[in-house]
Amino acid sequence: MDKIVIRAVKEADLSDITRIHIASFKDRALSQMGFSTVRRYYAWLLTGFSMIHPVCAVNQEGIIAGYCFSGLYAGSFSGFLKNNKGFLIKQILKRPRLLFNPIVQEQARLALKTLYKIARYNRKNKSKGVESDRKEHGEIPPFLGILSIAVDPEYQRLGIAGEMMASVKKWAIDTGFKGMNLSVHQDNLAAIRFYEKLGFNKVSHTEEWKGEMRKLFKDE
């Protein structure tokens, strides 16, 4: 395998990251909405939050082979919807077939529910100046969130995802986090095995596991 360098994501990387996302998650609603929608989403993740650590894996030829967006991304989905409502509606209207896609339908229902909650929250807190994605007193929460990770299909099974996670873990420890957490689809057995190999454990607040996994650094 070519030597891989893990470095911070730059704005110039967004098109390659978008390409990898679409290749890795073809059936996701976001991918179905087209290249410009996916790119806009990752641009939002890169610029819309303060405490983040997005990294990418680059080979000797400068080709981006994978990426991992980690950080405090509270409200990332709702914020993206709120700031891109008009754009997203136009993208759906350009692709009316998406309205009959079960995955898109489910995401649309979630989006409408989220926008409704945002509207209610804003009305309730209009006079309070409350920011939903900021922790009081600037305190660092105990867990760093792994929001999105993907490796180009041409570079999979080469240990790249593990290298990126190791880099993120080092940054998390140096920054003062006590662990990392993430969400994974319950049917994605390969991803679950990968995270368990890295020391993540399933976390459930009810009898049914919802896909939450967590890793405590003190357990190592």
For the stretch 28-61, pLDDT in tens is 888 888 899 999 999 999 999 989 999 999 999 9
The helix/strand/coil state of 6 is strand
The average pLDDT across 159-166 equals 97
Query: Which among 61-65, 116-120, 202-206 has the top mean pLDDT?
Result: 61-65
How many angstroms separate the CA atoms of 167 and 104, rounded? 34
User: How would residue 137 be classed by pLDDT, with cut points 50, 70 and 90?
Assistant: very low
The average pLDDT across 56-83 equals 90
Q: CB under 8 Å to 62, separation ≥6 — which residues?
A: none
Higher pLDDT, 95 or 70: 70
Query: Which among 74-78, 111-115, 195-199 has the top mean pLDDT?
Result: 195-199
Q: CB under 8 Å to 118, separation ≥6 — which residues?
A: 78, 81, 82
Q: Which of 87, 56, 73, 63 is nearest to 150 (CA)?
A: 56
Q: What is the DSSP string of 55-91?
A: EEEE-TTS-EEEEEEEE--TTHHHHHHHHTHHHHHHH
Summarize pLDDT for 117-128 with one digit per residue, the tens.
Answer: 445 544 555 544
Summarize pLDDT for 96-117 with one digit per residue, the tens.
Answer: 776 666 655 565 555 545 444 4
Domain 5-219 architecture = 3-Layer(aba) Sandwich (3.40)
Q: What is the pTM of this model?
A: 0.81
